[in-house]
Structure 1
Amino acid sequence: MLSIIGIIVGLAVFIWLAFRGFNTIFAAIIGSIIVALFGGLNPFTALTDAFMPKASGFLSGYFMIFLFSGLFAKVMGDSAAAASIAVKVARIAKKAKDPLMAKFLAVCSIPFIQLILTYGGVNVFVTVFIVVSLSRALFKELDVPWWLYTCSALGSSTVTIGMLPGSPQIQNIIPCEYFGSTTMAAPGLGILSTIISLFLGGCYIYYQVRRTHKRGEGFMPTGAEISKEKLIEPTVENEKPLWACLLPMIVVIIALNVLKLSAAVSLSCGIVVGYVLFSIIEKKPMDIKALFAGSIPMAVMPLITVCCASGFGGVVAAVPGFQTIVTSLMNLGVNAFTIVFITNICSGICGSASSGENIALQNFGDLFLSSGIPGDQLHRLVAMSSIGLDTLPHSAGVITALSTTKLTHKQAYINNFVLSVVLPIIMACFAAVLISLGIYF
């Protein structure tokens, strides 16, 4: 019992430290020490024998994906291809004559841009750095409350990482090795869930925009801190045609889903196409040395953060209380709903969809397979279930977005909670209902 209390206290401290703005890596280590102490383990032994193996295991398994994703994002960013997509989408919002509709389209444009980028292969951690400057300019011009920026979670933390088939995001790749599936697993279920999610998410965004518009709330005061930042705002001077901006991303998707190449190789193909297209054909060579140097922070820091979240999950799995929890969960029986529950719990513990997915499949993969649910449906169900409780306040993705946009949890976390916690859980339960009824597509 004491060990279970330790898991709860350790997780609470992890969340509290992250909420207070402490570095996620530090918070994960402190939380792990608390879990180990309550579980009767030597905390330093737990860090070396449980934390580090899980962290390093995730690192070795997914380092290349994060590395090439960072490099791909750097090529798309330095070439102004990503900014060009953002400018084109934002232009639609500016054309609206009704102020309320203009604000609604402005807020919706940010998740839409992030949806395009993440489905095209840009890491979810990186998208915020690409669109924040455009978002600030757009929200300022239309006097949209800055705290509504976090509605972007609809495009970056939901459909493209867990629902849309064919996505090159890591959360859609991990289940492949456990279920013998592909990234295109259960396409009908994934597409239907995406459509419903975007509709419900759009309704929520409209509600918030309409509410703030009626109150006369504008860009300030929540935009005060981001206004002080020196950001390079995208302009039309170097704007590129849409086909050229999308081509590298299309290449990634085709290489991954049609040619069945690995994620790292698929991203490499996109990098080569992007470099040739924007550097050689346009005769504006990008500095290769700068590309490599700039892509490392984009890849390594998010990866290390996710690895430490996985390490925290490793320490939790090592204490006696976790085995008690495992036994209790197994006694529930295995069905689509318990799979949703178990995967969400693991993601909530880690504060990361990919780490939670890993922990869930390592500990419960065989149990999931014993349910009799086909591998493709299991793949989609687990991927969708991993993106619910992963975005609690201690989530590395949430903290990265808030720190970059100079917002606080108190100001803006409500949008993350509704769009990337509540909505994905509802959709995972919806998928579980269809699967339980034997509707596979």
Structure 2
Amino acid sequence: MGLAGILGGLGVLVAFAYRGWSVLLLAPLAALVAALFSREPLLAHWTETFMGSAAAFLARFFPLFLLGALFGKLMEDSGSVTAIARFMTQRLGPERAMLAVVLAGALVTYGGVSLFVAFFVLAPMAQELFRAANIPRRLMPAAIVLGTSTFTMSALPGTPSIQNAIPMPFFGTTPFAAPGLGVLASLIMLAFGLWWLDRETKAAKLSGENFGGGAPTPADRLATDETLRERAVTAREFDPAEIAHGQETDTPPPIALAALPLMMVIAVNLAMSLFVLGALDTRYLAESRFGGVSLADVGGVWAVITALACAIATVLALHHRRLHALRATMDAGANAAVLPAMSVASLVGFGAAVAAMPAFAVVRDAVLGIGGGPLVSLAVATNVLAALTGSASGGLTIALDALGATYMARAAEIGLDPGLLHRVAVIGSGTLDSLPHNGAVVTLLSVCGATHGESYRDIVMVGIVGAMLALAVVIALGSMVGSF
């Protein structure tokens, strides 16, 4: 009965979340269903197990949600994202339209700009380029996914994405965990994705397929779609309803000033991770008032927080005159962090409640018993949970909350670098999360004016198949030669 309750609770969560019901309601309900079938105390699991885990997630990661969303909104309203995307498209031109869209998306997201901000800026520019090059419009979503939602989210060392931050407290790692393998995985994702998009472009020309009709959907229209919003906020760290708030400048900055805050994120993140934090005296963290933690527990998150804070200060210093509605922009950025953070925290609370059920031992033993060692079972666990929840960050946290300590113990037994666990977990979370019900996929298709029937096959190839190939290579090399 207990296992049936876990499966039933998960079924309730997945089925109704796909229909646009709020995860804030569904996650505790699903947890209570699991507890009821297991004959466990309902109120205790809700207020102590569920809420305790959700609160711990918020305490650890909400600063990243807050600063990331604020930075993305400031970059949007200052015209910096537009300036960067326009620079890339003008430099590469229609003859390299696909590459221009991919690289523009990669640059802004690796620099810390929130995914949905990038979507709404890149889609109109991609439409202009694709129309000029007569590339089918159906390939627009896949090109944007490749640049914004693959290697810069999960593989490229130092990426400030929330997914790359989640394993750090569990494994005591930094954003630059397994850098060599991360770069290799990034190259595989990028090369495979570009190959596929080039193949499809050439096939379309041979068959006489042209750009076609349709147009990107305006942000203000999407902001009023509550079903779309509920799906989206579990998938990424920015509430798309806030895109329409604030005021974007009509005079974007020069490219050098637009890109400087992105460079600040990368440089400060690197400096904090590799040099600054290690040189500080942080023995005070062992005191009970700070939770009795070590630098390894918090250092990675501190590095990303500091990098985003410095980048925000840089945007304000360089572009304050372009931010004509500064308070509205900053309010929108702050508000954009709340619903995604609460939604993912609710998924984490559900995972903690399930893990506390006696029947979960069956699930845990099945996952840990998967052949191929801890790297394979960790990849499977993060893949499956990200797919079921439609959230890379939610699935990743649930997996590590339940099994992170076990994987660390196994890694210590066989001399496996925690950085390798980190990289496998993050890449694994960014594969099957892109199933059709994923909020980011649904939002992007809406933004581009496309449908699943037109564009989803290409999203699968660049967002799932390419990531799976990279994950397989990382696991194989990591198993043979270790982390590098």
Fold equivalence (TM over 0.5): yes
Q: Distance in 2 between matches of 1:55 and 1:132?
A: 34
Q: Distance in 2 between matches of 1:345 and 1:285?
A: 42
Note if contact 2:13-2:26 (Cα within 8 Å) is conserved in structure 1: yes
1:133 equivalenced with 2:146 (yes/no): no
Q: CA deviation at 1:12?
A: 5.0
Q: CA deviation at 1:219?
A: 4.2
Q: What corresponds to 2:318 in structure 1? A: 277
1:368 equivalenced with 2:407 (yes/no): yes
Q: Distance in 2 between matches of 1:128 and 1:304?
A: 22
1:247 pairs with 244, 249, 260, which one?
Answer: 260
Q: Distance in 1 between matches of 2:106 and 2:148?
A: 6
Q: Distance in 2 between matches of 1:412 and 1:291?
A: 33
Alignment of 1:243-392 (within 5 A): 243-260=256-273, 262-279=303-320, 283-284=321-322, 286-332=324-370, 334-369=373-408, 370-371=410-411, 372-392=415-435
1:204 equivalenced with 2:183 (yes/no): no
Letter of the aligned partner of 1:313 in structure 2? G
Q: Judge which range, 177-186 or 405-414, deviates more.
A: 405-414
Alignment of 1:174-185 (within 5 A): 174-185=166-177
Q: Deviations over 1:136-185 (max 9, x none)?
A: 44344444433322212222222112111111112222222222221112
Distance change >3 Å, CA 422–CA 363, structure 1 → 2? same
Letter of the aligned partner of 1:62 in structure 2? F
Q: What corresponds to 2:280 in structure 1? A: none
Distance change >3 Å, CA 111–CA 310, structure 1 → 2? farther
Q: CA deviation at 1:255?
A: 1.2
Q: Distance in 2 between matches of 1:205 and 1:427?
A: 17
Q: Judge which range, 398-407 or 146-155, deviates more.
A: 398-407
Q: Judge which range, 256-265 or 63-72, deviates more.
A: 256-265
Q: CA deviation at 1:301?
A: 3.2
Q: Distance in 2 between matches of 1:406 and 1:302?
A: 24
Q: Distance in 1 between matches of 2:94 and 2:335?
A: 37
Q: What corresponds to 2:71 in structure 1? A: 72
Q: Judge which range, 115-124 or 56-65, deviates more.
A: 56-65
Note if contact 2:154-2:430 (Cα within 8 Å) is conserved in structure 1: yes
1:436 equivalenced with 2:446 (yes/no): no
Q: What corresponds to 2:468 in structure 1? A: 425
Note if contact 1:310-1:350 (Cα within 8 Å) is conserved in structure 2: no
Q: CA deviation at 1:49?
A: 4.8
Distance change >3 Å, CA 79–CA 219, structure 1 → 2? same
Q: Judge which range, 201-210 or 300-309, deviates more.
A: 300-309
Q: Distance in 1 between matches of 2:311 and 2:343?
A: 25
Letter of the aligned partner of 1:422 in structure 2? V
Q: Judge which range, 428-437 or 408-417, deviates more.
A: 408-417
Paired residues in the alignment total 427
Note if contact 2:79-2:249 (Cα within 8 Å) is conserved in structure 1: no
Q: Deviations over 1:78-119 (max 9, x none)?
A: 1111101111222245342xxxxxxxx334433322211111
Q: What corresponds to 2:151 in structure 1? A: 159
- SS of match in other structure, 1:226: coil
Q: Distance in 1 between matches of 2:480 and 2:73?
A: 45
Note if contact 2:5-2:37 (Cα within 8 Å) is conserved in structure 1: yes
Letter of the aligned partner of 1:241 in structure 2? P
* Percent identity of paired positions between Structure 1 and Structure 2: 31
Q: CA deviation at 1:327?
A: 1.7
Q: What corresponds to 2:276 in structure 1? A: none
1:192 equivalenced with 2:184 (yes/no): yes
Distance change >3 Å, CA 424–CA 6, structure 1 → 2? farther
Q: Distance in 1 between matches of 2:8 and 2:452?
A: 21
Q: CA deviation at 1:388?
A: 1.8
Q: CA deviation at 1:433?
A: 0.6
Q: CA deviation at 1:378?
A: 2.0
1:149 pairs with 133, 140, 152, which one?
Answer: 140
Distance change >3 Å, CA 79–CA 9, structure 1 → 2? same
Query: Structure 2 regions of 5+ residues with no counterpart?
Result: 223-242, 274-301
Q: CA deviation at 1:39?
A: 4.8
TM-score w.r.t. the length of structure 1 is 0.84
Letter of the aligned partner of 1:294 in structure 2? A
Q: Distance in 1 between matches of 2:15 and 2:206?
A: 34
Q: CA deviation at 1:189?
A: 0.9
Note if contact 2:76-2:117 (Cα within 8 Å) is conserved in structure 1: no
TM-score w.r.t. the length of structure 2 is 0.77
Q: CA deviation at 1:384?
A: 1.6
Alignment of 1:398-413 (within 5 A): 398-413=441-456
1:106 equivalenced with 2:145 (yes/no): no
Q: Judge which range, 310-319 or 386-395, deviates more.
A: 310-319
Q: Distance in 1 between matches of 2:211 and 2:189?
A: 27
Q: Deviations over 1:338-376 (max 9, x none)?
A: 222222223233322222222222222222222331122
Q: Distance in 2 between matches of 1:256 and 1:382?
A: 21
Letter of the aligned partner of 2:456 in structure 1? Y
Note if contact 2:249-2:322 (Cα within 8 Å) is conserved in structure 1: no
